[in-house]
Structure 1
Amino acid sequence: MKSALKQDPVGICRGCIHSKIITSSKGGIFYYCRLSESNPQFAKYPRLPVYRCPGFQKAISKTE
Structure 2
Amino acid sequence: MKASLDVLPLISLAMFTTVVVALLTAAVTGLLSRLDGATVPRALLRAGAAFGSSILVVASLLTVITSAIK
Q: Structure 2-normalised TM-score?
A: 0.22
- Greater share of strand residues, 1 or 2? 1
- Greater share of helix residues, 1 or 2? 2
Q: Work out which of the two has the higher radius of gyration on C-alpha atoms and give 1 or 2.
A: 2
Q: Structure 1-normalised TM-score?
A: 0.23
